[in-house]
C-alpha cells in the first residue's frame, strides 16, 4: 500500500508541474503573464505591455497608490481631454473562445455627458479589442460575442467594451467588467487596449485576464 500511494503522489506532482508550466487558470489557459502589473522594467514600465499617449496631457504609470491584488496597478490620468491606453498583444487560435476581463476604479472630474453617436465615450473607462488575421485587422462582428458577458459594448471596426451603464462602479472602488468572444476561424492575434477615454482625472486598471476557455 505505501508503494501505491507513493506512485499516486508522484503522478499528482507531475501533473501539477505540467499544469503550472502551461499557464492553466482556474477556468482555462491564461494568456496574460503580468496582468497585475507587478513586474516592471528598469524604466518603471509594466513588462509585456505598451503605453499609448493619444490625446491631451496624459500620463500612464505603474503605481502602488492603489491596487486590487498585489502591490501595483496601472494609472492613466491627465487633463485637456486626455486619452491614453495600456496595450496587451497575444496570439490566439481561430475558432476558440476567449474571456477578457479587467478590474478598474476611477476618480474622474467629468464631463459625464454622452456624445451623440458615441454612447460609450461618456464613461471614460474602456477596453478596446482588435482581432487580426495574417492579412491585417478583421472588422468586428457582434456575432462573435457569447455568454458570459458582464460588459456593455459598441461594435464597429473594433469592439469597445465598457462597464454596463447600470453597473458602473462607484468612485474609488474596484469593479469588474468583461466580455467573452469566439474568435473567427482565421484569427491569429488579439490586441487589448485599456483606456482612459477623455476622462479628466484618474483611471486605474488591475488584474487583466485573457483566458482561452
Report the pLDDT value the prediction gives residue 16, as an integer from 0 to 100.
41
* pLDDT value of position 118: 54
**pTM of the model as a whole:** 0.82
Parallel/antiparallel/unpaired status of strands 201-212 and 28-30: antiparallel
Tell the residue number behind the cell numbers 487558470, with chain if given. 25
Per-residue pLDDT tens digits for 18-36: 333 334 445 799 999 999 9
The pLDDT score that the predictor gives to residue 154 is 74
Lowest mean pLDDT among 9-23, 55-69, 117-131, 179-193: 9-23
Greater confidence, 136 or 153?
A: 136
Residues 54-76, mean pLDDT to the nearest whole number: 95
Closest alpha carbon to 30 in 126, 128, 100, 82: 100
- DSSP for the chain reads -HHHHHHHHHHHHHHHHHHHHTTEETTEEE--S-TT---B-TTSPBTT-EEEEEEEEEEEEEESSS-SSSS-EEEEEEEEEEEEEEEEEEE--TT-EEEEEEEEEEEE-------TT-GGGGG-EEEEEEEEETTEEEPP-GGGEES---EEEEESSSEEEEE-GGGPPPTTS-EEEEEEEEPPTT--EEEEEEEEES-SEEEEEEEEEEEE-
Q: For strand 175-182 and strand 145-146, is the pairing parallel, antiparallel, or unpaired?
A: antiparallel
Unique residue bearing C-alpha cell 482612459: 196
What is the rounded distance in angstroms from the CA atom of residue 43 to the CA atom of residue 206?
19
Residues 165-212 have pLDDT tens digits of 556 667 778 988 899 999 999 999 999 999 998 888 899 999 999 999
Query: What is the rounded CA–CA span in Å between residue 176 and residue 101?
Result: 7
| Residue whose grid cell is 460588459 | 151
Amino acid at each position: 500500500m505505501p508503494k501505491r500511494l507513493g506512485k499516486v503522489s508522484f503522478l499528482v506532482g507531475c501533473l501539477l508541474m505540467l499544469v503550472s508550466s502551461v499557464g492553466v487558470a482556474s477556468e482555462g489557459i491564461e494568456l496574460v503573464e503580468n496582468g497585475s502589473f507587478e513586474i516592471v522594467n528598469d524604466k518603471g514600465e509594466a513588462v509585456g505591455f505598451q503605453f499609448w499617449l493619444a490625446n491631451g496631457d496624459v500620463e500612464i504609470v505603474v503605481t502602488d497608490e492603489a491596487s486590487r491584488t498585489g502591490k501595483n496597478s496601472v494609472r492613466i490620468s491627465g487633463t485637456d481631454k486626455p486619452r491614453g491606453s495600456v496595450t496587451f498583444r497575444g496570439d490566439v487560435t481561430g475558432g476558440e473562445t476567449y474571456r477578457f476581463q479587467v478590474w478598474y476604479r476611477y476618480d474622474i472630474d467629468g464631463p459625464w455627458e454622452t456624445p451623440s453617436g458615441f454612447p460609450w465615450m461618456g464613461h471614460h473607462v474602456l477596453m478596446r479589442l482588435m482581432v487580426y488575421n495574417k492579412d491585417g485587422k478583421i472588422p468586428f462582428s457582434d456575432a462573435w460575442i457569447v455568454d458570459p458577458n458582464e460588459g456593455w459594448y459598441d461594435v464597429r471596426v473594433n469592439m469597445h467594451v465598457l462597464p454596463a451603464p447600470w453597473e458602473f462602479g462607484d468612485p474609488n472602488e474596484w469593479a469588474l467588467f468583461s466580455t467573452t468572444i469566439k474568435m473567427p476561424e482565421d484569427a491569429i492575434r488579439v490586441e487589448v487596449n485599456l483606456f482612459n477615454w477623455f476622462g479628466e482625472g484618474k483611471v486605474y486598471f488591475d488584474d487583466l485576464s485573457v483566458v482561452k476557455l
